[in-house]
Amino acid sequence: MAAAKEAKKLGLSYTLLEASEPFSTIINFPKGKPIFTYPKEMTPAGDIKVTAQVKEPLIDEIRAQTADIKPRKSFAEAINRKGKLLEVALRGEEALLARRVIVAIGRSGNFRKLGVPGEELDKVYNRLHDPKDYAGKKCLVVGGGDSAMETAIALTQAGADVTISYRNKEFSRAKPENIEMVLQLTQNPQADVSVQNPVSERITTATGDFMGAPPKAGRLRLLLPSKLKKIEPARVIITTGEKEEEVLDNDIVFAMIGREAPLAFFRRSGIHISGEWNWGRKISLAAMLSVCTFIYHWKKTGIGGFEHIPLLRNIVSIGEVFSRNQWFPYNITAHWQDASTPLAQTLKITLGEPGFYYSLAYCVIIVLFGIKRIKRRETPYVKLQTWTLAAIQIVPLFLLPYIILPWLGHAGVFESGWLKKAADALFPLAGYGQGREYWRSFGFILAWPLFFWNVFTGQPMWTWLAISAVQTFVIIPGIIYFWGKGAYCGWICSCGALAETLGDDHRTKMPHGPKWNKLNMAGQIILAAAFALLIFRILGWMHVGWAEKAFAFLFHDLPVFNYVWFVDLLLAGIIGVGLYFHFSGRMWCRFFCPLAALMHIYARFSRFGIVANKKKCISCNVCTSVCHMGIDIMNFANKGLTMKDPECVRCSACVQSCPTGVLSFGQTDKAGRVIKIDEIPASPVQMAEKS
Ligand SMILES: Cc1cc2nc3c(=O)[nH]c(=O)nc-3n(C[C@H](O)[C@H](O)[C@H](O)COP(=O)(O)OP(=O)(O)OC[C@H]3O[C@@H](n4cnc5c(N)ncnc54)[C@H](O)[C@@H]3O)c2cc1C
Ligand code: SF4
Ligand code: SF4
């Protein structure tokens, strides 16, 4: 309706299709239902304004504002491309052609099914129209969201005997006001549960049908957690514990467990539905994993994992094959004879290394997709964060090891004095590549145990050990204390740089929910393996023979599951990047990174949190859906709690995407009081409010 009004105002030719009647969703709300229309500080951009607080006045109000819009009664079946136009197929009518189509069909799909015997009985409803019809009846309400809460409240107040059955131990999805009312009614069904609307006006719900005088109050009881097992004509059977069952006399069941989105419409229109797996998607995932397997084996010569499996021994060393056959990039500088200057000497070697091209591609992708991210999420926070990530990736992680250090080396800078001492300690002489191990400079940025090559060395490299210890055990806990784990994962780390740029389009693909959350602990196992290796390594340096053997076995000799191949190559590289376009860019960071696992421990003591202004939250779930660490941020926001999940990487997507500016980065004291709000603006809504 708002779009149609706007189109009319602009003089566009438009058609508004409506399958049922305008505002049918609202018309189907229970009689006298209170309407939560906050936050009022946010004015909708369109011409339709809403002030009413109860269903009936709301319908009058919006009907009056849209009297000039005449919808056409038609059911849109699908949208398909027809040349430069879009063709809207209509049920039983000729198709319509349009330049642009706005799909605003709501969640008008099918009601979710309970999936229990007896569901088809006449006494099972998905909607409550007039609560008064059920006075004195025994009602079961199944569900824990707002619809279930509001149904139970209305029924209780209309004099019904109500039981709520919900699968979880406590309510978390519903609005706090609704939960509060339900809890009050369980104590005292006659309680005045009028609530204070968050925008300060009082809405009254302690009435029989939300509007009239209450008849004799009913009864409300909660069965949490519980699961409806069977519906019979005069009773219901509910599982309440492992094996315990409760049988309740019952007249009516309200299955208020939500609706399926109208997915069939999108399927018919050929629009991909996130999370759905068809053959095309499976094949594209397999192809992506194969490409990553190739790239990572091509990049790393001499690293197997299958060396101990005779049949596979020869196929793993792709890099070795390329090197022996002088294929790309080994052939690039083969005919470069005259490399007399230090820069030419550097490039002659660097341009023949796969790692150079890998890092170059990494930098280019981060810059290109970083610019895209900055354009999409126009906040100073995203701009600063993206350029910081790109700068770290380009200078210390690419130019320094591949160009600057070798160039200085060929120019003789490391041949005498304290610079020679420093170079000997940090980049020892080597009989390959540039003559010194300049690649160890990755260790300036990438800390142990993410980057372990400077620690797990044949002989202790004392300077690197000192640097790594200060990084991992002093600097990182320090920054986490103030700014959370994201200060490293979202602002410094190269895995984070790729995830926040290339992965930005795919962030909503990260799986959420308790089952996946259990896998969050996988990183702790890898962290334990890293610490075990560290202990064996130190004992090995102290000439403890068995420890040296244990280290070698776990580090590279164990078939397939050795640390180098399994963790560094398979999980961090092949799986981590291979799942980017199907499961988001943070799979490695969330589940497997051992440094992240260590930081989760530090983060328990951090002041950092995402602070929520509960009054503005409309429980739209946008924040949760954009979180590529799988955090259910809405669950904190709509309760006004500070989100302190250690997984958070400070990407700012939730803060930036929240349509009402609920969220802010901040710090809390030990008692949980907010002591600081970040100064770098990260929420466009808050920025607009301030200006
Ligand atoms: C029980 C309940 C309580 C709620 N309480 C609140 C509240 O207190 N405050 C609040 O802000 N929100 C509330 N909501 C949410 C609110 O109703 C929705 O967010 C809002 O109605 C969405 O508006 P919409 O225009 O996107 O979709 P809808 O209002 O659902 O409108 C979609 C329209 O499209 C039509 N349509 C569907 N398919 C087709 C098709 N194929 N062809 C043509 N027409 C079609 C439908 O008939 C419908 O009229 C509640 C929702 C429910 C179910
Ligand atoms: S909670 Fe927000 S800032 Fe933290 S990782 Fe999730 S989306 Fe990013
Ligand atoms: S994005 Fe999250 S915090 Fe913002 S209104 Fe929606 S649910 Fe609430």
pLDDT tens by residue, 68-100: 999 999 999 999 999 999 999 999 999 999 999
Kindly give the distance from the C-alpha atom of residue 508 to the centroid of ligand 2, in angstroms, as a whole number.
12
Ligand nearest to C-alpha 612: 3
Q: Residues lining ligand 1, CB < 6 A? A: 17-20, 24-26, 29, 35-37, 75-76, 104-106, 108, 146-147, 265
Ligand nearest to C-alpha 2: 1
**pLDDT at residue 312 is higher than 50:** yes
Give CA–CA dist 23/360, Å, rounded.
54
Q: Give, as one character, the DSSP assignment of residue 559.
A: T
Closest ligand 3 atom to Cα of 638: 8
674 strand-pairing partners? 668
Q: Closest Cα to atom 5, ligand 2: which residue?
A: 648
Pairing of strands 72-73, 17-18: parallel
With a 6 A CB cut-off, is 620 part of the ligand 3 pocket?
yes
Give the model's pLDDT for residue 598.
98
> Who has greater pLDDT, 492 or 218?
492
Kindly give the distance from the C-alpha atom of residue 24 to the centroid of ligand 1, in angstroms, as a whole number.
7
Task: Please answer whether residues 368 and 336 qualify as being in contact, where contact means their C-beta atoms are separated by less than 8 angstroms.
Answer: no
Give the tens place of pLDDT for each residue, 632-666. 999 999 888 999 999 999 999 999 999 989 999 99
**pLDDT at residue 489 is higher than 60:** yes
Closest ligand 1 atom to Cα of 146: 3
**What DSSP element (H or E) covers 64?**
helix 55-65
Give the model's pLDDT for residue 199.
34
DSSP secondary structure string for all residues of 38-75:
--TTS--SSS------BHHHHHHHHHHHTTT---EE--
Closest ligand 3 atom to Cα of 618: 5
Closest ligand 2 atom to Cα of 651: 8
**pLDDT at residue 538 is higher than 50:** yes
**pLDDT at residue 213 is higher than 80:** no
- In this prediction, residues 180-202 reach a mean pLDDT of 64
Residues of the chain with CATH 3.50.50.60: 124-255
With a 6 A CB cut-off, is 638 part of the ligand 3 pocket?
yes
Ligand nearest to C-alpha 107: 1
Give the model's pLDDT for residue 313.
61
**pLDDT at residue 41 is higher than 80:** no
Tokens 């409806």 label which residue?
228
Closest ligand 2 atom to Cα of 610: 1
Report percent pLDDT > 70 for the chain: 92
Kindly give the distance from the C-alpha atom of residue 637 to the centroid of ligand 3, in angstroms, as a whole number.
7
Q: Which of 186-195, 323-332, 676-685 shows the lowest mean pLDDT across its residues?
A: 186-195
As a residue count, the chain comes to 691
Q: Which of 245-254, 349-358, 558-567, 577-586 shows the lowest mean pLDDT across its residues?
A: 558-567
Residue 524, Cβ density class (10 Å: 0-12 exposed, 13-18 middle, ≥19 buried): middle
- Out of 386, 483, 610, 629, give the residue to mutate to test ligand 2, the one with the largest number of ligand atoms within 8 Å of its CB: 629
- Out of 623, 625, 633, 664, give the residue to mutate to test ligand 3, the one with the largest number of ligand atoms within 8 Å of its CB: 623
Tokens 């430069």 label which residue?
84
Return the CATH number of the domain spanning residue range 124-255.
3.50.50.60
Kindly give the distance from the C-alpha atom of residue 358 to the centroid of ligand 1, in angstroms, as a whole number.
49
Give the model's pLDDT for residue 618.
80
Kindly give the distance from the C-alpha atom of residue 112 to the centroid of ligand 2, in angstroms, as a whole number.
30
Give the tens place of pLDDT for each residue, 610-629. 999 988 888 889 999 999 99
Give CA–CA dist 664/657, Å, rounded.
11
**pLDDT at residue 303 is higher than 60:** no
Q: Closest Cα to atom 4, ligand 2: which residue?
A: 648
Report percent pLDDT > 90 for the chain: 71
**pLDDT at residue 324 is higher than 90:** no
**pLDDT at residue 201 is higher than 50:** no
**pLDDT at residue 28 is higher than 90:** no
* The pair of three-digit structure tokens given for residue 440, joined into one six-digit string: 């160890």
User: Where residue 243 falls among pLDDT bands split at 50, 70, 90?
Assistant: confident
Kindly give the distance from the C-alpha atom of residue 148 to the centroid of ligand 3, in angstroms, as a whole number.
21
**pLDDT at residue 195 is higher than 60:** no
Residues of the chain with CATH 3.30.70: 607-690
- In this prediction, residues 331-358 reach a mean pLDDT of 89
- Dihedral sign for Cα 539, 541, 545, 547, please: positive
Give the model's pLDDT for residue 200.
34
Kindly give the distance from the C-alpha atom of residue 318 to the centroid of ligand 1, in angstroms, as a whole number.
56
Average pLDDT for the chain:
90
Kindly give the distance from the C-alpha atom of residue 178 to the centroid of ligand 1, in angstroms, as a whole number.
20
To the question of domain 607-690 being in CATH 3.90.1200, the answer is: no
With a 6 A CB cut-off, is 626 part of the ligand 3 pocket?
no
Give the tens place of pLDDT for each residue, 119-153. 999 999 988 988 999 999 999 999 998 889 999 99
Kindly give the distance from the C-alpha atom of residue 273 to the centroid of ligand 3, in angstroms, as a whole number.
22
> Which ranges constitute the DSSP H helices of 130-189?
146-157, 176-187
Kindly give the distance from the C-alpha atom of residue 3 to the centroid of ligand 1, in angstroms, as a whole number.
15
Provide CB contacts within 8 A for 469, sequence distance 6+: none
